[in-house]
Amino acid sequence: MGLMDPEPMSNGAEPKIPKLKGKYMRMDGQFNEEIEEPIRRKRGRSDSEKYVFACAVFASLNNVLLGYDVGVMSGVILFMKEDLNISEVQQEVLVGCLSIVSLLGSLGGGKTSDLVGRKWTIGLAAIVFQIGAAIMTFAPNFLVLMIGRIIAGIGIGFGVMVAPVYIAEISPTIARGTFTSFPEIFINLGILLGYVSNYVFSGLSAHISWRVMLGVGILPSVFIAFALFMIPESPRWLVVQKRIEEARSVLLKVSENEAEADQRLAEIQKAAVGSNEGKAVWREILRPTPALRRMLITGLGIQCFQQITGIDATVYYSPTIFRDAGIKSKTQNLAATIAVGVTKTVFILVAIVLIDRVGRKPLLYVSTIGMTFCLFALGLSLSLLGHDIVSPNAVIALAILAVCGNVAFFSVGMGPVCWVLTSEIFPLKVRAQASAFGAVGNRLSSGFVAMSFLSMSEAISVGGTFFIFSAISALSVVFVYFCVPETKGKSLEEIESLFQSGRDQWNQIEVELEDVQHLVQKE
Helix axis angle for 462-483 and 318-325, nearest 10°, is 130
Four-residue CA torsion sign, 54, 58, 59, 62: positive
- Give the burial string for 354-370 (b: 16+ CB within 10 Å, else e): bbbeebbbbbbebbbbb
Q: What pLDDT is stored for residue 369 in this prediction?
A: 96
Q: What pLDDT is stored for residue 234 in this prediction?
A: 87
Question: Cα-Cα-Cα-Cα dihedral of 400, 404, 409, 415, to 10°?
Answer: 130
Residue 90 has pLDDT above 90, yes or no: no
State residue 307 phi and psi, 5-degree precision.
Answer: -100, -35
User: Do residues 375 and 321 make contact, with C-beta atoms less than 8 angstroms apart?
Assistant: no
Per-residue pLDDT band at 45 (split at 50, 70, 90):
low
Residue 266 has pLDDT above 80, yes or no: yes
Residue 114 has pLDDT above 60, yes or no: yes
State residue 232 phi and psi, 5-degree precision.
Answer: -85, 170
Query: How remote is the C-alpha of 464 from its chain's centroid?
Result: 28
- HSE value, Cβ hemisphere, 13 Å, CA-based, for 19: 10
Residue pLDDT, tens place only, 116-136: 888 888 888 888 888 888 898
Residue 245 has pLDDT above 60, yes or no: yes
Decide: helix, strand or coil at residue 363.
helix
Most confident of 1-5, 96-100, 509-513: 96-100
What's the mean pLDDT when you consider all of the chain?
A: 77
CA nearest to 107, candidates 432, 449, 447, 450: 432
Q: First-to-last CA distance in the chain?
A: 10
Average pLDDT over residues 21-25: 36
Q: What pLDDT is stored for residue 274 in this prediction?
A: 53
Q: Distance of CA 227 to CAs 120, 223, 224, 344, Å? A: 11, 6, 5, 26
Percentage of the chain modeled with pLDDT above 70: 83
Helix axis angle for 219-227 and 47-59, nearest 10°, is 140
Residue pLDDT, tens place only, 50-79: 888 888 888 888 788 778 877 788 778 878
Average pLDDT over residues 304-324: 80
Q: What pLDDT is stored for residue 35 in this prediction?
A: 36
Domains of the chain: 43-256 (1.20.1250.20), 290-488 (1.20.1250.20)
Residue pLDDT, tens place only, 346-393: 888 888 888 888 888 999 999 999 999 999 998 888 887 766 677 777
- Return the higher-pLDDT residue of 409 and 45: 409
Average pLDDT over residues 131-153: 88
Average pLDDT over residues 205-229: 80
Containing 25, the helix (H) or strand (E) segment is strand 24-25
Q: What pLDDT is stored for residue 386 in this prediction?
A: 62
Per-residue pLDDT band at 502 (split at 50, 70, 90):
low
- HSE value, Cβ hemisphere, 13 Å, CA-based, for 316: 27
Angle at CA of residue 102, ends 99 and 105, nearest 5°? 170
- Interatomic CA distance for residues 460 and 350, integer angstroms: 35
- Interatomic CA distance for residues 106 and 187, integer angstroms: 16
Per-residue pLDDT band at 305 (split at 50, 70, 90):
very high
Residue 516 has pLDDT above 60, yes or no: no
Average pLDDT over residues 195-201: 82
The one-character DSSP state at 430 is: G
Residue 18 has pLDDT above 70, yes or no: no
- Interatomic CA distance for residues 385 and 399, integer angstroms: 10
Residue pLDDT, tens place only, 436-492: 778 778 878 887 887 788 788 888 888 899 999 999 999 999 999 988 888 887 777
